[in-house]
Structure 1
Amino acid sequence: MATNFGFPLVVALLFSSLCIATFVSAEVIHFISNMPKDSPPLSIDCKANGIYVVQHSLRVGEDYEWSATINDIYYCTTMWKLFFASWHAYEPKRDVGHETVYVKIQKEGFFLSYEKSKWTKIEYWETE
């Protein structure tokens, strides 16, 4: 009798584990500062679901890495000198299926890549 319950229980546990792993899996996000030499640090603040998840000061040449839950949109704001920008560091529709998302920040704007060879501009700097 115990054998009859054992197989369905094992199947249910495996299915539950798969669902939980899919729900909480994460992508690695890299912020890379490619700003001009001797630039002041960038201030980066990112929120998911209205809660700050990243608050970091990024220096020239620095690569800051963190993990994003694949079901959330990560909205970021960045300040540099008198410039600012608002952008999405991670969007499930855009980025799902990629293990790593790279965001290179330059004087010309914000660029996205999944393999660090092809870059697409995703945002411009603004000023008052």
Structure 2
Amino acid sequence: MATILGIPLALALLFFSLCIETIVSLKVVHVISNMPKDSPPLHINCMANGANVVQYFLTVGEDYEWSATINDVYNCMTMWWASIAYWHAYEPKRDVEHDTIFSRIEEDGFFLSYDKSKWKKIADWQTD
């Protein structure tokens, strides 16, 4: 009888551990627009594993967030007026030790932070 009850319990524990692993393996990615007041929305397109995972128009002052899986690189492209930029919103080697990753978009480029107080420039705008 104990063996029969043990199987459902073992399956429940396995399911629970897989759910916890899935929850823990997600990172929160924020993209913040710090563009000039009269700027049009930024068109942001991010891909991971060849799939389009983020397509969003970010307005001035807005903070857009999503969950990223820890093993995927999130390659992003952003357009603003006649400028374009390519950057990584999440990169496992760089960001795996952090639960939250902040990217701030400004007129002079793209900046990365893990605490919203220290920022490092990671990309520049490109024009034709």
TM-score (norm 2): 0.86
| CA-atom RMSD in angstroms | 1.9
- 2:66 pairs with 1:66: yes
Q: Residue 18 of structure 1: SS of its match in structure 2?
A: helix
Q: Residue 31 of structure 1: SS of its match in structure 2?
A: strand
**What corresponds to 1:18 in structure 2?**
17
For each residue in 1:71-102, what CA deviation from the matched residue of structure 2 results, as whole angstroms up to 9, or x when unmatched? 11111000000110111110111111211110
Distance 1:50 1:116, change over 3 A: same
- Pairs aligned (count): 127
**What corresponds to 1:87 in structure 2?**
87
- Give the whole-Å Cα distance in 2 for the aligned partners of 1:11 and 1:98: 32
How far off its partner does 1:65 sit?
1.1
- Give the whole-Å Cα distance in 1 for the aligned partners of 2:53 and 2:87: 15
Q: Residue 38 of structure 2: SS of its match in structure 1?
A: coil
For each residue in 1:12-65, what CA deviation from the matched residue of structure 2 results, as whole angstroms up to 9, or x when unmatched? 764664355335631111110000110111100001111111000011111111
Gaps of 5+ in 1: none
Q: Conserved in 2, the CA contact under 8 Å of 1:23 and 1:71?
A: no
Q: Residue 39 of structure 1: SS of its match in structure 2?
A: coil
Matched to 1:44, the amino acid is I
Gaps of 5+ in 2: none
- Give the whole-Å Cα distance in 2 for the aligned partners of 1:52 and 1:5: 46
- Give the whole-Å Cα distance in 2 for the aligned partners of 1:71 and 1:5: 38
**What corresponds to 1:31 in structure 2?**
31
Distance 1:13 1:71, change over 3 A: farther
Matched to 2:60, the amino acid is V
Matched to 2:116, the amino acid is K
- Superposition map of 1:41-60 within 5 A: 41-60=41-60
- Give the whole-Å Cα distance in 2 for the aligned partners of 1:76 and 1:62: 17
Distance 1:5 1:92, change over 3 A: farther
